Amino acid sequence: MIPGRPLRWMVTHVIDITGQNPAYRLTHRHHLEFPRVLPQCQLNLDSMNQTSATIDWHDALDLGPATVLTGIERGKYPHGNSVLVTGTNERVLIDPSLTVAELGRSFEVDRIFLSHVHEDHIPGMSLFPTVPVSCHEADAVGLTSIDGLMSMYGLPSEIEEEFRQEVLDDFSYAPRPDVSTFTDRASFDLGKVSIEVVHTPGHTRGHCAFVIPEARAAFLGDIELSGFGPYYFDACSSLESFERSIEICGQIDADHFVTFHHKWVISGRELFLEMLRDFARVITERESAMLRFMSEPKSIEECAAHRFVYRPSVDLKFVRHVETRSAQIHIDRMLKDGRILKATESSYRAA
């Protein structure tokens, strides 16, 4: 980490130099066929008999009543892909991204839904300070105060101080103590269009997917199908919950699957299921690699130093914390199911 430069600057700078986000390593690529991309970003929201409105948006993707507001570089962090759902009575914006914030307000919405409360999913809320915001009840603490949000990450104090300021400055965080909440299987009628909530915890306790049946589309949030694999290393994350959520996502009845980051839109259920299996396989690969490494006794610190999440070349301040969390999570699970044994008070080996 370069002194005086925030984390977001560092990630963006590495991307500019290498063309690769250091937090993500792509292990496979898929050739996709996409629905219609609206030319010159002229998006007509009058199709559902609403008051006419046009949004100038680069690479907006039309899925009928759902429109993907494609983020910069198709949602590469710190940007993301937001979704606008338009009914005859209401218009809902899902996960207002940093791209939404930077392009400025050019359309009206009646409500904002959040797949979960993390810094990169909320910046566009700053453009809609009076619009009601809803998230799952388990993530509402992240909108009550900056302290509440920081508690969800569980970062060491020396990292949290810098990240806290970055969230305030670069992601326009402002508390919304008036946030309303929903639970699993809640359904919202927007007028001839509905949004159905599917609770998919693991990344956070309240992470949700949203299904728009009339668009044959599902928004997956940070179940992003990237080669990096599932991220379950925060204080409010859970590996077991993430695995169950992956199974739930495989049961969603849709033709188009939208991710907040990286993969953008996957059209075709079979392709989606293939990518979902690849995504889930990363967990198995992490644990298999750890078991091989622990053929001789190893401590949590040694496992963290070896790295099973990030490449050795990635040099960012939070990496050690994530690797330590990952080692602890997987060692706890493998101890419980008997795949590893305690060798000494502070070391473990494969059974």
Cβ pair 251, 198 in contact under 8 A? no
- Phi/psi class of residue 49: alpha, beta or left (left: φ > 0; alpha: ψ in -120 to 50)? left
**pLDDT tens-place string over residues 184-233:** 999 999 999 999 999 999 999 999 999 999 999 999 999 999 999 999 99
More confident residue, 58 or 342: 342
In the chain, the number of structural domains is 2
- d(CA 228, CA 231) in angstroms, rounded, equals 8
- In this predicted structure, the answer to whether residue 51 has a pLDDT above a threshold of 50 is no
Residues 15 and 123 in one domain: yes
- In this predicted structure, the answer to whether residue 97 has a pLDDT above a threshold of 70 is yes
Residues 139 and 212 in one domain: yes
* Chosen domain end from 263, 284, 305: 284
Q: What tokens were used for 312?
A: 């050795």
CATH number for the domain including 168? 3.60.15.10
Residues 239 and 310 in one domain: no
- In the predicted model, what is the mean pLDDT of the chain? 88
Average pLDDT over residues 54-77: 89
Reference 184, options 214, 217, 212, 206; nearest CA is 206
- CA of 251: how far to CAs of 46, 230, 254, 280, in Å? 32, 18, 9, 15
**pLDDT tens-place string over residues 129-142:** 999 999 999 999 99
* pLDDT of the residue at 44: 44
* pLDDT of the residue at 54: 53
* Chosen domain end from 232, 254, 284: 284
**pLDDT tens-place string over residues 259-306:** 999 899 999 999 999 999 999 999 999 999 999 999 999 999 999 999
Residues 247 and 334 in one domain: no
Residues 41 and 177 in one domain: yes
Reference 264, options 273, 272, 252, 274; nearest CA is 272
* pLDDT of the residue at 215: 98
Domain assignment of residue 325, given as a range: 294-350
* pLDDT of the residue at 55: 66
Residues 170 and 271 in one domain: yes
Reference 5, options 135, 220, 170; nearest CA is 170
Residues 202 and 303 in one domain: no
* Chosen domain end from 284, 302, 322: 284
Q: What tokens were used for 227?
A: 């080669």
Q: Report if residue 137 sits inside a domain.
A: yes
Residues 132 and 216 in one domain: yes
Reference 118, options 12, 261, 244, 281; nearest CA is 261
Residues 194 and 322 in one domain: no
- CA of 159: how far to CAs of 13, 23, 40, 230, 316, in Å? 19, 16, 41, 22, 11
